[in-house]
Amino acid sequence: MGRERIVGIGAGAKELATEDMTLNIGPQHPSTHGVLRLRLTLDGERISSAEPIIGYMHRGAEKLFEVRDFRQIIVLANRHDWLSAFSNELGVVLAVERMLGMEVPDRATWARTLLAELNRVLNHLMFLGSYPLEVGAITPIFYAFREREHLQRVMEEISGGRMHYMFNRVGGLKEDLPAGWTHRAREAVRDVRSRMSEISDLIMGNEIFRARTRGVGVLTEEQILQYGVSGPIARASGVDFDLRRDEPYLAYGDLDVRVVTRTEGDCLARFECLLDQVYASLDLADACLDRLGELPPGPINQRLPKVLKVPEGHTYAWTENPLGLNGYYLVSHGEKTPWRMKLRSASFNNIQVLSELLPGTLIADMIAILGSMFFVVGDIDK
């Protein structure tokens, strides 16, 4: 006599069907430059939807601006992108100087341009070292940090800081360049340029790196424009736009700014743009050093009143930061503090496109794509 066996399979199970799995990447993850969370919906090993969840590092900088005077807001503004502190300071002082109708001395203009380009190289070297690390290559980061140290040395000598320089001031720079500093800066630029080929050969000649990045995470020009993506990421997709050339500020109007672009729009193209842009910035740094050597001695800042009040009104200043376009919308009611200071940071827009870029890709390619977006989470959250 046969027996019938009944097996309980659970009330929630569905026959002949599989359910999508939701996977949280973060909010603490070693492959992100800060505390980011990605909520992914997976269909097997393929991502079907992605949602970047931000705000874990929000510090309320924009509200803090409203209770700090125009000298104090610089120390807050230089921290959201901790790899681009000098460039962050720059946007604030340019906005305030525009509201005041203030012209800064030529020496300050050229020195600011030089330091902004050195800061750009420092930023790019960080990502040139960390991105290969994220896809499994540990050696390049040691080469990148060796070159960073050469430039950090001259930046530290002039400002006293290694990350948050606090060297910009409304009206110019904190103080004049130390004696012999331009010579040491020129040597650092020359040394870094001479050894960049070691980093390039090490990474670009690696067939595993190329296999992980070529044709992966392709961003179209239309997506770039829809999401307001900017910087090296946008230029890697053929968007030929750079404020330094197209709407010059500081001394860029007197310089030959070479804008590096690619058309492929994949992870490899974004990395190549970053690499080539280091050479372009080193060339601009040399040109600034040449010009500083020709300028006669003179002041490097303007004398300011003890209490600095900005006339009533509003202005918008934007700069080509290392990671993309940074905008500074300043509203003043004629007081010593801004009524409103709104930051438009590059990383915020650059990361939003992940919700459109990641679906359809494999989970194994997600880290390669995420690392190639070159963002700093403090720059997203502010």
CA dihedral sign of residues 318, 326, 265, 22: negative
Any residues with CB less than 8 A from the CB of 375 and at least 6 apart, and which? Answer: 33, 323, 346, 347, 350, 351
Average pLDDT, stretch 70-75? 91
CB-count burial class (<10 Å; 0-12, 13-18, 19+) for 44: exposed
Residue 282 CB neighbour total at 10 angstroms:
21
- CA–CA gap between residue 64 and residue 362 (Å, rounded): 41
Q: What is the DSSP letter of 254?
A: G
- CA–CA gap between residue 40 and residue 230 (Å, rounded): 24
Q: What is the per-residue pLDDT for 245?
A: 94
Higher per-residue confidence, 346 vs 1: 346
pLDDT tens digit sequence for 195-239: 999 999 999 888 999 999 999 989 999 999 999 999 999 999 999
pLDDT beyond 60 at 3: no
Residue 137 CB neighbour total at 10 angstroms:
17
Higher per-residue confidence, 7 vs 117: 117
Number of residues assigned to the chain: 382
Q: What is the per-residue pLDDT for 6?
A: 44
- Pick the closest to residue 46 from 363, 331, 349 (CA basis): 363
For 355, phi and psi rounded to 5 degrees? Answer: -65, -20
pTM: 0.90
Band (pLDDT 50/70/90 cuts) for residue 181 is very high
Q: What is the per-residue pLDDT for 8?
A: 47
Band (pLDDT 50/70/90 cuts) for residue 65 is very high
- CA–CA gap between residue 10 and residue 21 (Å, rounded): 18
Give the type of residue at 356.
E
pLDDT beyond 90 at 251: yes
Any residues with CB less than 8 A from the CB of 172 and at least 6 apart, and which? Answer: 104, 105, 108, 299, 300, 301, 302
- CA–CA gap between residue 311 and residue 182 (Å, rounded): 36
Q: What is the per-residue pLDDT for 381?
A: 84
Helix 140-159 × helix 181-204 angle, to 10°: 160
CATH code of domain 61-379: 1.10.645.10
Q: What is the DSSP letter of 106?
A: H
Listed as own residue / partner, the contacts of 93-97 with beta carbons closer than 8 Å and 24 or more positions apart are 93/168, 93/169, 93/170, 93/171, 94/249, 94/317, 94/319, 94/328, 95/315, 95/316, 95/317, 95/328, 95/330, 96/70, 96/170, 96/310, 96/330, 97/170, 97/171
- The C-alpha angle with vertex 22 and arms to 17 and 26, in degrees rounded to 5, equals 160
pLDDT beyond 80 at 31: no
pLDDT tens digit sequence for 332-382: 999 999 999 999 999 999 989 999 999 999 988 998 998 899 888 888 888
What number of H helices and E strands is found in the chain? Answer: 15, 8
Q: What is the per-residue pLDDT for 193?
A: 95
Structural domain boundaries of the chain? 61-379
Collapsed DSSP state (helix, strand, coil) of residue 245? helix
pLDDT tens digit sequence for 133-169: 888 889 999 999 999 999 999 999 999 888 899 999 9
Q: What is the per-residue pLDDT for 301?
A: 93
What beta strand segments (E) does 275-332 contain?
313-321, 324-332
Q: What is the per-residue pLDDT for 134?
A: 85
Band (pLDDT 50/70/90 cuts) for residue 28 is low
As given in the structure block, the two tokens for residue 269 are: 């193209």
Residue 78 CB neighbour total at 10 angstroms:
25
